[in-house]
Chain A
């Protein structure tokens, strides 16, 4: 495929787009894992939110 004399500009645009999109996906997935792990850890230590019923009443 011949991208002409401005190939570097085209390739750089697509590389940056890929980096931004993959970066956003990685950020969202990593944040989800962290929050889920911390929440599971707190619940394992018996902590509950006010709106949650205690385990024995569930």
Chain B
């Protein structure tokens, strides 16, 4: 199956039916291995003690928070430039997932910050820009719900998504551009990761599990959205037929 064939929603549905069980199984295995490494293998941090275990949720959630908006940004280009039939389906389906992972990143970061920094929250650039990301997710979701016509909603949401993408480099480099309480990058940085392999390996496995979870849920949510649009199309046809009768 060529990549262009996936532009056909019926073929996309057939593909998701085949791959979703495998993705779900891979996600389960990855989480099982990740949780084993976190709770049975990874040592406590020499400074933070056991609170480092919060990192294994916080960091993958934060990556997915930005990753989901990146997916929406690519989809927004697909909507506005190529009018790809699945682009706004992909964007709409990714938004609630991104919002959920952004909330999780903020929540776990707050719980990690209290024992490490002495506060649940501080208005530094990293925390504030991630909060802005969360609010933008809510805004895009609200926009999708406000406009009834999916294609009109898709174009409006795509413009908002592209504007919001400006926030992604701000989040990433906020710890470098401003003096923040949040620590600088420890993984994605020049010179390689600053984390010991005994903790870095479980982090990578957990991040893979979260990524597989996101891909699985995203494909499943896209499938649901395609079915929802089919239902809507049928209702509209029935309404037009009733008007013509």
Which positions in A face B, CB cutoff 8 Å?
1-7, 9-10, 12-14, 16-17, 20-21, 23-25, 27-29, 31-32, 35-36, 38-39, 42, 47-50
Contact = CB atoms under 8 A, between A and B. Distances in A.
Contacts of B114: 9
Contact of A6 (B104, B115, B233, B237): B115
B173 interface: no
By Cβ-Cβ distance, the 6 closest A-B pairs, closest first, are A35-B227, A6-B115, A3-B50, A13-B108, A9-B111, A31-B224
A45 to B, nearest CB: 9
Nearest to A43: B234
B209 to A, nearest CB: 10
A50 B100 CA distance: 36
Contacts of B39: 1
Given A28-B217, A28-B224, A36-B227, A9 B100 contact: no
Interface of B: 39, 44, 49-51, 53-54, 57-58, 61, 96-97, 100-101, 103-104, 107-108, 111-112, 114-115, 213, 217, 220-221, 223-224, 227-228, 230-231, 233-235, 237-238
Contacts of B235: 42
Contacts of B107: 13, 16
A2 to B, nearest CB: 8
- Describe A's contact surface by its main secondary structure: helix
B206 to A, nearest CB: 10
Give the most central of A12, A21, A31, A48: most B CB within 10 Å.
A21
Given A16-B107, A39-B230, 10 more contacts: A9-B51, A9-B111, A13-B57, A25-B217, A32-B227, A39-B227, A42-B234, A49-B234, A50-B233, A50-B237
A36 B97 CA distance: 21
A23 B224 CA distance: 16
B231 A35 contact: yes
A6 B220 CA distance: 37
A17 B108 contact: yes
